[in-house]
Each structure stands twice: as C-alpha cells, then as structure tokens.
Chain A
C-alpha cells in the first residue's frame, strides 16, 4: 500500500519549497546568529516564510532545522536547545500547512568530519541524526529530507539514523560540484555510488541540491536518472551571490529559473524545489510547470 505522498510522486511532478537561509537574511538574520534559533526567537517570521511557500504552490514545505542537529548547534553553544529547536520548528510549519500539503523535517550536515579527516565515528553521527529525526517526527513531520551532504559516509549515517527513527519516507540529497572529471562531492564521492548507497541505506528518494545553478543541475539530473530507478529530487541554486547596490542578489531570475522546470522533469526529476536564492516567487512560477500529470499516468 502506497502512502499519499508516494501516490502523489507516482502521479505527477511534485513541488518542494525554496530557500530558507537567504529568506531569513532578507528579513534581518545577522551573520552571528544561527537561523534555527529564530524558531524560538522569531517564530512569526519562520511561519510567514512557510506560508509563502505553501501559497506559492509547494506540495512539501520543510522545517527550519538544517543546522538543528546536536553537533551543529553545539558549534554555537546551543546544543542544550536541540529539543526545543526541532519540535518548535515542526509546530511552526504545521500551523500553516494546508490539508493537502506535506511537512518535511529538514536535516543538514553536522559540520564535523568522520575519521580519518575528523574525529567522529559513523555510529556517533548516526546517533546525532537519529536524535534529530526522532524529535522532528515527534513534532509531526511526515517525511525526513536530508540535504546538502558533501560526504557520502556522513549522509549514510543520516539516512540510517532517520530510518531508525521513523517509517516515514526519507529523502537524501548530496551536493555535487562540477569538476574537470564530472560531478563529485568535495570528498570525492561520485554520483552513481552516492545514489546507490543512499538507496541501500533506506532512502526512498535521492537527489542533489545546492552548489549548482540550473543548467548544471539539468545535466546532473540526466546523469542521476541513468543510475537509479527511484524518485529523484533536484534543488538548484539561483546562481552564486552578487552585490547589487550594496545588497546581496542572485543572478538567475525567477523567470529564468522556472524555465528549467519542465526540462528537469523530462530529464527524469520527480520532485523539484529551490535552494539558495530561490525564494517564494521562484516556486510560484514553477508550480504550474511542475505539478503536471506524468506521461502515461491516469488522472485520479
């Protein structure tokens, strides 16, 4: 028996939300602050951003918990807040979720490295992710979305930890750079190995986010489709930040970004969202292009 979310992914293109971090900067988040702290200090702003994404047409919106793992919070001395930050984040988003929408619990890297580069063991990281995923599920998220992972070994511990915490779907995205030899993470993980291993650990959806703009993401989706049969998620950046009249801006406009939506679907992506610089307007323009019936699938 398929879940409502799996049913939706089978039937039509699914729209994920866009950037959180760059939206928070636009609303005054300063460089010394952890964005997750705003779940406690400025919940109304987080709620407003989630609402904007649902209103823009996103099927799935994710919690403001990218840096919400105990280890990542500890880097700013906030690890004592791990419970509040994650549960509160889910509550904030839940309050604006429409009946047909889905809430994803967002998990990002710990910022620490596994041995031999760093000092952590896989089981230590797995526990950290298990804790965060459990808290998010306790806060009522309906899936876990792991993203911006640059080390496959860490990503695997995140999938395993999440898998242990919940029966709900687990999505996992890596961040790949385009090198002279193709797409690799900074740790040297290639695309086929990454996707296969993540699937083996229990991810239902695999994909890529951040680092790349739309043209490179399109190229990467084609490559990912050749290596896996399970659903693919793709979330590109709106280019790299530039300074315009003293303000930080992104070079790829919402119109240009959205013009890639159909190409991504054709190339084999199932779920499309936005990463750095891609705000609600980007999602709104993509909505009619993404949320379309897949060829050969009967409308319900």
Chain B
C-alpha cells in the first residue's frame, strides 16, 4: 500500500514538473523512479503523458502559451531520455499507435509549430520520423514509403509554401499511392477549407487538435 502511494506520488510530481516547466525536476524524478524500481512504462503512461496532456489542455483554454508548451515538451523529452534506455534494457517498448512522417514544406524554415506537433504526437504514443524544416516533397513521400508510415504531416507557415502541401497530395496521387497514407496539414495560414480544397485527410487548427485528429485518422 505504501509502495503504491509512493508511485502515485512520483507520477503526480512528474506531472507537476511538466506543468511548471522544471526540467531538472523532471530528470530527477525520472532517475528516482528507476532507482526505486518503478516500471518506466508506468512513469510514461501515468506521469509524463497525463502531464503533457494537461499542459495541452491549459494551452487550449488560453491559460498557457507557446513558451509553456515548448518548455514542457523539453522537460518531457529530457525525462524520456532517462527512461527509454531502461525500457529497451527490459526489452519493452511503448505501445505504438501509428507511424508518422512529419516535416515543414520545402522553402519554409519555420520549425517550431511542426516540432511541437511532433513532440505531442510522440508523447501520445506515435512513432515520429521528424524530417525537419524545408523538406523537399519528393523526399517526404519517399521516406513515408520506406518507413511504411500511416500518416504524413506537413506544415507550412507561409502562403508561398502552402502550395507544397497541395503538391505532396498530387505527388501521392500521381504515384498511385494516395490511399496508402493519411495526410494531415497544418500551419498558421492553413484552414479547414484549405485542407478540403487540396483533399487532405485532415487539418489541425492547433497542436491539440492535431493530436486528436491524428488519433482519429489511425483509428486509435
């Protein structure tokens, strides 16, 4: 019983460390959890994931803004870095709900929104192949084929580079593989109407919606 409380206490503190954006604390707790023998998967599922989801919720409600989101995502990454080696030692893996190839369209150097979506998708159990910014469309498509991705996420922050999203879908159609992948688009100038216009499967108005839409698309 006491053991149980200790675990829950640590999960709760892990959540708090993300909410407060305290990276040192997040790392300390991850190490502590391993020292006292908590299964790293439990720490991820009951500590870190609910923590990052709570941060996302506060952001959606207008309580948190981009800095809190970015910093919480960094805390989560730092904690995962401690937990993941222990996880592979045990021969365990986080349950993966889908594989995602994600990148910012060619000509577009804006990284932050895409990276946030990637981090949140990863926090929610997706396997992420993040190709970075300014990614040629053809490379994204090839990578999606190689990785047998379920989902391609393409971000564009500029009205000039939004057309890359359209080209990606056209390229999939030309290759006759449009049905193999779900395509999700995002970025400041992108709207639901735009997603429909270019026949994307979905669109995320913000990082939280991106996660729920990605889950819906893979049937998770």
The answer to whether A181 touches B193 (Cβ under 8 A) is: no
Describe B's contact surface by its main secondary structure. loop
Q: In the assembly, what is the distance between CA of A181 and CA of B58, in Å?
A: 12
Q: In the assembly, what is the distance between CA of A116 and CA of B23, in Å?
A: 12
Q: In the assembly, what is the distance between CA of A75 and CA of B108, in Å?
A: 10
The answer to whether A25 touches B160 (Cβ under 8 A) is: yes
The answer to whether A248 touches B191 (Cβ under 8 A) is: no
Which of A31, A182, A186, A242 is in CB contact (< 8 Å) with B158? A31
With A31-B161, A113-B112 as known contacts, state yes or no: A241 contacts B106, CB within 8 Å.
no
Q: In the assembly, what is the distance between CA of A172 and CA of B190, in Å?
A: 26
The answer to whether A31 touches B191 (Cβ under 8 A) is: no
Q: In the assembly, what is the distance between CA of A242 and CA of B67, in Å?
A: 30
Mark interface residues in B176-189 (1 if CB within 8 Å of A CB, else 0). Answer: 00000000000011
Which of B66, B70, B194 is in CB contact (< 8 Å) with A241? B194
Q: In the assembly, what is the distance between CA of A294 and CA of B197, in Å?
A: 44
Which of A181, A185, A211, A242 is in CB contact (< 8 Å) with B191? A242
With A184-B62, A241-B189 as known contacts, state yes or no: A75 contacts B106, CB within 8 Å.
no
The answer to whether A31 touches B62 (Cβ under 8 A) is: no
With A31-B106, A211-B188, A240-B191 as known contacts, state yes or no: A188 contacts B166, CB within 8 Å.
no
- Name the residue on B nearest A189 (C-beta): B65
Which of A22, A30, A182 is in CB contact (< 8 Å) with B159? A22
Please give the distance in Å from B164's CB to the nearest CB on chain A: 6
Find the residue from A21, A29, A179 having the highest chain B CB count within 10 A: A179
Mark interface residues in A16-38 (1 if CB within 8 Å of B CB, else 0). Answer: 00000110010001111100000
Q: In the assembly, what is the distance between CA of A186 and CA of B67, in Å?
A: 9
- List of B residues within 8 angstroms of A4 by Cβ: none
Size range of the chain A interface in the assembly: 20 to 34
Q: In the assembly, what is the distance between CA of A274 and CA of B133, in Å?
A: 29
Size range of the chain B interface in the assembly: 20 to 34
Q: In the assembly, what is the distance between CA of A235 and CA of B62, in Å?
A: 24
Tell yes or no: A276 within 8 A of B by CB.
Answer: yes
The answer to whether B66 touches A187 (Cβ under 8 A) is: yes
Q: In the assembly, what is the distance between CA of A240 and CA of B66, in Å?
A: 22
Tell yes or no: A95 within 8 A of B by CB.
Answer: no
- List of A residues within 8 angstroms of B64 by Cβ: 188
Q: In the assembly, what is the distance between CA of A187 and CA of B63, in Å?
A: 11
- List of B residues within 8 angstroms of A33 by Cβ: 107
Q: In the assembly, what is the distance between CA of A108 and CA of B164, in Å?
A: 23
- List of B residues within 8 angstroms of A240 by Cβ: 189-191, 193-194
- List of A residues within 8 angstroms of B63 by Cβ: 181
- Name the residue on A nearest B163 (C-beta): A31
With A113-B112, A248-B163 as known contacts, state yes or no: A30 contacts B107, CB within 8 Å.
yes
Q: In the assembly, what is the distance between CA of A180 and CA of B192, in Å?
A: 19
Q: In the assembly, what is the distance between CA of A33 and CA of B71, in Å?
A: 32
Mark interface residues in A91-119 (1 if CB within 8 Å of B CB, else 0). Answer: 00000000000000000000101001100
Please give the distance in Å from A198's CB to the nearest CB on chain B: 18
- Name the residue on B nearest A177 (C-beta): B188
A172-216: which have CB < 8 Å to B? 179-182, 184-188, 211
Q: Which residues of B are at the interface with A, using a C-beta cutoff of 8 A?
A: 61-68, 70-71, 105-110, 112, 158-164, 166, 188-191, 193-194, 197-198
Q: Can you list 14 residue pairs at the A/B interface with Cβ under 8 Å?
A: A29-B160, A31-B105, A31-B107, A31-B163, A33-B107, A76-B109, A116-B67, A117-B67, A184-B62, A240-B193, A243-B197, A243-B198, A248-B163, A276-B159
Identify 15 new A-B residue pairs, CB closer than 8 A, beyond the known A31-B108, A111-B109: A22-B159, A25-B159, A31-B164, A32-B107, A76-B109, A117-B66, A186-B65, A186-B66, A187-B67, A188-B68, A241-B194, A242-B191, A242-B194, A243-B194, A248-B159
